Structure 1
Amino acid sequence: MNRTVNILVLAVLTTACQEQKKTIDPAPTMTLLPYPETKKGEVIDNHFGTEVPDPYRWLENDTAADTKAWVKAENKVTNHYLAQIPFRDAIYKRLEKLWNYEKFSAPFKEGNYTYFYKNDGLQNQSVLYRQKGDDGEVEVFLDPNTFSEDGTTSLAGIAFSRDGSLVAYQLSEGGSDWRKVVVIQAEDKSVVGDTLMDVKFSGLAWRANDGFYYSSYDKPKEGSTLSGVTDQHKLYFHKLNTPQKEDQLIFGEASMPRRYIGGYLTEDERFLVITAANATSGGELYIQDLSRPGSPIMSVVDNFEKDHAVIDNNGSTLFIYTNLHAPNGKIVTVDAGNPTPENWVDLIPETKNVLNVSTGGGKIFANYLKDATSFVQQYDRSGKLERTIDLPDVGSASGFGAKKEDKELYYSFTSYVYPPTIFRYDIASGESTLYKASGVNFDPTRYESKRVFYTSKDGTKVPLIITYKKGLELTGTNPTLLYGYGGFNISLSPSFSTSNIVLLEQGGVYAVANLRGGGEYGEKWHLAGTKLQKQNVFDDFIAAAEYLISEKYTSSDKLGIAGGSNGGLLVGAAMTQRPELFKVAFPAVGVLDMLRYHKFTAGAGWAYDYGTADDNEEMFQYLYGYSPYHRLKEGTAYPATLVTTADHDDRVVPAHSFKFAARLQAYHGGTNPVLIRIETKAGHGAGKPTAMVIAEQADKWAFFFQNTGTSYITQP
């Protein structure tokens, strides 16, 4: 080919690429239908002499005809608005294209098979496959896409018997936390016995091939199945081929009620381990030696003050994770015959970094959080450090679990600019090799993440990780989304999001703040954002926004905030305390009525973090002061808001979002749209079908770009 032809070809290719890209501007005007006229009731609660009106109490009845009519009317207003956004369809198509690649889980071995999950690209649910050995024929084992026509029934948990011959798996319908359990023979997938019903917040722990342990509540007698209070968890043993009504109650009853009870076995099936708690932090620990018929359940820890778990055993020696006298966590050993804390011996002492732990191949893997990123060390069972594992980058590593006899294991690594990648790890040599690279269409070399520390209101230094396209100019005009959580000892470590590509490739900024209330710096960091210290979390988030503005990453007119569940509370608090600071707000499945959150499902268990309005007058006044639903002020101009929830959310019931949206629409004094998007046949988030996820993300980004005045450039 001569030079002239080369130039012509280059010109054609350049023109083609230019033609594939198109700039779509936000709509200059948007028609907003009138918000539904939401009726107001006369409900008034009296808290320690303070009268608190709750005019939208009727929306708590999720099964009532008038609530369903309100949901339909609100969705009509929201859908009408979203349909006018000129780049909504282009964003949906872009997300669909980005999502359409094969996704794999790390493999795991059970019996004679190796199992793994795979999604071909746009399948609503990932499929569980298996094969014998490395070269055996791959076959579908369970395909959740066949569980329901619309993909809203998901595989919500699976457990194999020790020899791999029996399988128990959980089904979630419409995203509900209430599950069904089906038992099958692994070899031919034939069903064994009846389906167990009404299982909630449960693992499944096989005892030989006789049956398994599981946990659940009695179905609520008052309120709906989705919103009624569930506060007495119980641990049962289900013997195969017997009716569920004959299942043996192992732990938990009216004489010793516990809100959360879990049961699991050590790998050799010698010990049943029982955890019992009344809140999301702190709990009791019990063991039962199953090698001795009739042995009693023994107390290891008899209070709810700290967190503990048996992670392994060697004969009668127990290996226990604990944060007792060690806010960042440590590993201790003790003999099961006398297992109480005064007999514990440190094996892996506490360090300045927060400890997460797993076991495999007879080793202990200490996965530390170092400024919210992973740092992993391998120890032998005597507590000797064998090596620090060489990770591919700065980010988050997860996995490092295997059976004792395994010679290798798998772990996943990711960051905000490093798509999830699976590595095979040789336990003896410490060598990591690539197993599965991500197939997502994303070039990490074009983007960067950097960690900074900013100063919160009280002088505390808080980490913030900022991700953007290389060469970003700090003009104060970049569309920016700030995300946070800040609660329940949960750490936000770097993770890749396919959805966020849409923001980054438009020159936008994604920022994640590691707020107090989380677990990034251990128990002290967590407690600094709980109960009467909860305002620290909101101050940290607001200070992160102010930092992004002062450093000219963005401005208030280009800044959005997002968070889900406890993070939805965070967004609700931030937007009601500083409405002028943000242009867009996305409170998702949020805890927004802080005076009544404990009246629904297992919400009372969140009191460790929040306290309740029933505790005392000081706690009531504190909650009343920041509760987003009650903080809304008439005539105030609020950010453009898209509240999101789902009708089957039985974790944070949709009433929180319903009531908040109703009052927000009634009080809003500005021109920004304040809308609620209510998904049907979905729950708190887990198991949501791919098509539903893409549609929700497309609506989020369309709403964000429209209301920040950001043009959308289509991608080739």
Structure 2
Amino acid sequence: MKKPLLTLIAAAVLSACSPATDNATEHTTESGAETSATQQQDQALDYPQTRRDDTVDTYFGQDVADPFRWLEDDRSDETAAWVEAQNELTFDYLGQIDFRDQVRERLADAWNYERLGAPFEEGDYTYFYRNDGLQNHFVVYRQQGDGEPEVFLDPNEFSEDGTTSLAGLSFSPDGSLAAYATSAGGSDWRTIYIIDAETKEPIGEPLVDVKFSGISWRENDGIYYSKYDSPDGSRLSQLTDQHKLYYHELNTSQADDPVIFGGSDEQKHRYVGGRVTDDGRFLAITAANTTSGNKLFVMDLQADEPELVTVVGHEDSNTGLLTNDGDYLLLQTNLDAPNNRLVRVNASEPDAANWQDLIAEEDEVLSVSRGAGYIFASYMVDAVSKVKQFAMDGEEIREIDLPGVGSAGGFGGKDDADKIYFSFTNYITPPSTFSLDPESGDAELYFAAETTFDPENYVSEQVFYTSKDGTRIPMIISYRKDLQRDGSNPTMLYGYGGFNVSLTPSFSVTNAVWMDLGGIYAVPNIRGGGEYGQAWHQAGIRTSKQNVFDDFIAAAEYLVEEDYTSADKLALRGGSNGGLLVGAVMTQRPDLAKVALPAVGVLDMLRYHTFTAGAGWAYDYGTAEQSEEMFQYLHGYSPLHNVEEGVNYPATMITTADHDDRVVPAHSFKFAAELQSKDGGENPQLIRIDVNAGHGAGMPTSMIIDQAADVLSFTLYNMGYEKLD
């Protein structure tokens, strides 16, 4: 039913500037937005003064100043005052953009359509998620047979301002009980509530201090969950490095919950997760210290004396349990298979020497799911989906006929399900849900969103370009069919490039509005991601990280060379690790683009590992203490440490949030302070800080629209646009 269990695992000197000007003569774009060579800001920007201190760290004999270290204190009044002053400046600036409200209205109109999730059965009910358009959060509904749907959980009622979201929902095996997690203000910290599914009445007290956790039931008696000890200091920034798996029996105190894994020095790991197989037989436990590679253990819960059995005792591979077939475990792994394979092994002798391939490794990256008694194998072919159906013994049955070229997901369900649901989308196609008859392989449309966006008016093409070292990189470019390739089109280049994350085609309302305004949206599948398996990931980590930046730079140069756009009409965008990407590229090549939009970025590469669970990112990044070579490499590209005095950097709007405890906002605070203190050009260097929001997950629709309107307006304004139709 489920995919494999893997580790859970996103200023100082007063200065003046004026907005960018466009050297071209005044003209009107396809969208009717006008540009002007004489556009000027109403008044010059005066950046808030940011105190500098004398903090210095020494690495291998080299002193590195950190004058804005005090901004790391998220609980200080001085930091709060700085945030308020920066937001005041930024929102005053954005308020001068005449078409900002118009962009927001277009976004709200485009967002206002019904979205419906695939149905799933629990007990006597069919459940589904639905959003009527502009609701801040999806509502969970249920119905019996052909009866009228009723609200089961409405996250829009969790808080008055909509900033508390639903972060997980799990039902007991018979569907009579439910446990759900909430996130306040976008934080990774969760609270779990257990309720009677029929009456919705609470059972016991909520569970607190939960983080990076699933919710998995052991029969109807209790749940497994993961947590860290509550930090002594700031919950939003203090280092958390010992994760533990607990078992909570219903109607008992959380203080009495036993530690199942992680309570000793021998079992100390940064990330620990647990899940019970659908038949209740096995508890699978993953343990890891970084975001790549994990140990795997199983426990037979039906044994007279359950014992922890090691399946994989090292962290040199990613291995997860898909399901069990009686006494046999089905494991997805990249051990001796960089593109992944599915293996089968007896739970009593699960050592890798006894593994037998069910689905062997192929040239494309494999991801597996299970439902209706079948295995579904999803492959990435140049970042787009191909799906095959297999019997439980590994016999290939068919390739699933997908509705187009794009991303297909889902393909999961219970063993007794008579239908399997999957979703399909790409950059110009809003998500649709299909029901699949697993016996015949026939698929029918279950739900298609009715939006104002007509895919027939747009094109999404895949191209291949060459990076600095000769590597061939794919990129998907999407735009209106009537667009002219004359080098004048506003273009958003989006990237990530890390942590084995694959950027596959998906629909975004924000990007749809951008294209409707005459913009181009381009996404290269750069190294560091997982689009071509383990080797592609490895080619963009640690001392190979520059490959990622070179791939992104080459994508920008391709777009200019092929007359899609020009440097004056190009914006760089990315979030989290993608924020690092934008920060590194804009400091290495400030001439490359007109606008830079680093979001919730990892920008201080010398100290990232000292906050929350950041030490777990060392597999991709390395650390400054690791070796002198690693320190010099990190220091050489760290965005914070490579801002130079007097350089004219692109018009930059950094976005972050005060409750981001994944990539703490201090990264963005210090980078903004550095840019403002050394500003040497006309372009604005601003930071926009959301309040009661986190790394991005669970953000209410209203806040998403506000942020998107500001990002698009800032981008177009600094490309020289004065108004829209």
Deviates more, 1:21-30 or 1:474-483: 21-30
Equivalent residue, structure 2, for 1:68 = 80
Q: CA RMSD in A?
A: 1.0
Equivalent residue, structure 1, for 2:638 = 627
Q: Distance in 2 between matches of 1:253 and 1:534?
A: 35
Return the match for 2:257 from 225, 228, 247: 247
Return the match for 2:439 from 419, 428, 445: 428
Q: How far does residue 709 in structure 1 lie from its aligned partner after superposition?
A: 1.4
Return the match for 1:690 from 682, 701, 714: 701
- Work out whether residues 428 and 512 of structure 2, in 8 Å CA contact, stay in contact via their aligned partners in 1: no
Return the match for 1:107 from 110, 119, 128: 119
Q: Secondary structure at the match of 2:435?
A: strand
Q: Distance in 1 between matches of 2:682 and 2:175?
A: 60
**1:603-618 map, 5 Å:** 603-618=614-629
Q: Distance in 1 between matches of 2:33 and 2:611?
A: 47
Q: Distance in 1 between matches of 2:460 and 2:506?
A: 11
Q: Distance in 2 between matches of 1:78 and 1:469?
A: 31
Return the match for 1:238 from 241, 248, 252: 248
Return the match for 1:207 from 210, 218, 226: 218
Equivalent residue, structure 1, for 2:521 = 510
Return the match for 1:305 from 311, 316, 340: 316
Equivalent residue, structure 1, for 2:236 = 226
Q: How far does residue 410 in structure 1 lie from its aligned partner after superposition?
A: 0.8
Q: How far does residue 109 in structure 1 lie from its aligned partner after superposition?
A: 1.1
Q: Say yes or no: does 1:444 pair with 2:460.
A: no
Q: Distance in 2 between matches of 1:645 and 1:208?
A: 41
Equivalent residue, structure 2, for 1:543 = 554
Return the match for 2:50 from 38, 56, 68: 38
Q: How far does residue 506 in structure 1 lie from its aligned partner after superposition?
A: 2.0
TM-score (norm 1): 0.96
Q: Secondary structure at the match of 1:229?
A: coil
- Work out whether residues 575 and 598 of structure 2, in 8 Å CA contact, stay in contact via their aligned partners in 1: yes
Kindly provide the amino acid, as one letter, of the partner of residue 66 in structure 1: E
Kindly provide the amino acid, as one letter, of the partner of residue 481 in structure 2: K
Q: Distance in 1 between matches of 2:200 and 2:44?
A: 53
Distance 1:22 1:471, change over 3 A: closer
Q: Distance in 1 between matches of 2:723 and 2:209?
A: 46
Q: Say yes or no: does 1:350 pair with 2:366.
A: no
Equivalent residue, structure 2, for 1:576 = 587
Q: Distance in 2 between matches of 1:297 and 1:94?
A: 56
Equivalent residue, structure 2, for 1:17 = none
Q: Distance in 1 between matches of 2:672 and 2:418?
A: 54
Return the match for 2:279 from 268, 272, 275: 268
Kindly provide the amino acid, as one letter, of the partner of residue 628 in structure 2: E
Equivalent residue, structure 1, for 2:103 = 91
- Work out whether residues 530 and 609 of structure 1, in 8 Å CA contact, stay in contact via their aligned partners in 2: yes
Q: Distance in 1 between matches of 2:138 and 2:56?
A: 47
**1:303-702 map, 5 Å:** 303-702=314-713
Kindly provide the amino acid, as one letter, of the partner of residue 113 in structure 1: Y
Cα deviation code 1:635-658 (max 9, x no counterpart): 111000000000000000000000
Q: Secondary structure at the match of 2:278?
A: coil
Q: Secondary structure at the match of 1:499?
A: helix
Equivalent residue, structure 2, for 1:3 = none
Q: Say yes or no: does 1:137 pair with 2:148.
A: yes
- Work out whether residues 463 and 513 of structure 1, in 8 Å CA contact, stay in contact via their aligned partners in 2: yes
Return the match for 2:268 from 257, 282, 294: 257
Return the match for 2:130 from 82, 95, 118: 118
Unaligned runs of 5+ in 1: 1-20
Percent identity between the two aligned chains:
59
Q: Distance in 1 between matches of 2:683 and 2:74?
A: 28
- Work out whether residues 24 and 87 of structure 1, in 8 Å CA contact, stay in contact via their aligned partners in 2: no
Equivalent residue, structure 1, for 2:22 = none
Q: Say yes or no: does 1:157 pair with 2:168.
A: yes
- Work out whether residues 186 and 695 of structure 2, in 8 Å CA contact, stay in contact via their aligned partners in 1: yes
Equivalent residue, structure 1, for 2:179 = 168
Q: Say yes or no: does 1:79 pair with 2:91.
A: yes
Cα deviation code 1:503-538 (max 9, x no counterpart): 211221100010100000000000000000000000
Equivalent residue, structure 1, for 2:65 = 53
Q: How far does residue 713 in structure 1 lie from its aligned partner after superposition?
A: 3.2
Equivalent residue, structure 2, for 1:11 = none
Q: How far does residue 32 in structure 1 lie from its aligned partner after superposition?
A: 3.9
- Work out whether residues 32 and 673 of structure 1, in 8 Å CA contact, stay in contact via their aligned partners in 2: no
Q: Distance in 1 between matches of 2:347 and 2:721?
A: 62
- Work out whether residues 125 and 689 of structure 1, in 8 Å CA contact, stay in contact via their aligned partners in 2: yes
Cα deviation code 1:460-493 (max 9, x no counterpart): 0000100011132211111000000000000000
Q: Say yes or no: does 1:197 pair with 2:239.
A: no
Cα deviation code 1:604-629 (max 9, x no counterpart): 00000000001000000000000000
Equivalent residue, structure 1, for 2:10 = none
Q: Secondary structure at the match of 2:368?
A: strand
- Work out whether residues 478 and 553 of structure 1, in 8 Å CA contact, stay in contact via their aligned partners in 2: yes
Kindly provide the amino acid, as one letter, of the partner of residue 61 in structure 2: G
Q: Distance in 1 between matches of 2:190 and 2:556?
A: 40
Q: Distance in 1 between matches of 2:270 and 2:488?
A: 48
Q: Secondary structure at the match of 1:580?
A: coil
Deviates more, 1:463-472 or 1:367-376: 463-472
Equivalent residue, structure 2, for 1:285 = 296
Cα deviation code 1:549-597 (max 9, x no counterpart): 0001000000001000000000000000000111000000000000000
Q: Distance in 2 between matches of 1:711 and 1:338?
A: 69
- Work out whether residues 32 and 80 of structure 1, in 8 Å CA contact, stay in contact via their aligned partners in 2: no
Cα deviation code 1:72-126 (max 9, x no counterpart): 0000100010000010000011111111111111111111111111111111111
Cα deviation code 1:291-310 (max 9, x no counterpart): 11322100000000000011
Q: Distance in 2 between matches of 1:711 and 1:397?
A: 40
- Work out whether residues 376 and 390 of structure 2, in 8 Å CA contact, stay in contact via their aligned partners in 1: yes
TM-score (norm 2): 0.95
- Work out whether residues 39 and 720 of structure 2, in 8 Å CA contact, stay in contact via their aligned partners in 1: no
Bigger relative contact order (CA 8 A; separation at least 6):
2
Return the match for 1:177 from 183, 188, 193: 188
Q: Distance in 2 between matches of 1:351 and 1:201?
A: 31
- Work out whether residues 584 and 707 of structure 1, in 8 Å CA contact, stay in contact via their aligned partners in 2: yes
- Work out whether residues 506 and 712 of structure 1, in 8 Å CA contact, stay in contact via their aligned partners in 2: no
Q: Distance in 2 between matches of 1:214 and 1:47?
A: 39
Q: Distance in 2 between matches of 1:212 and 1:462?
A: 45
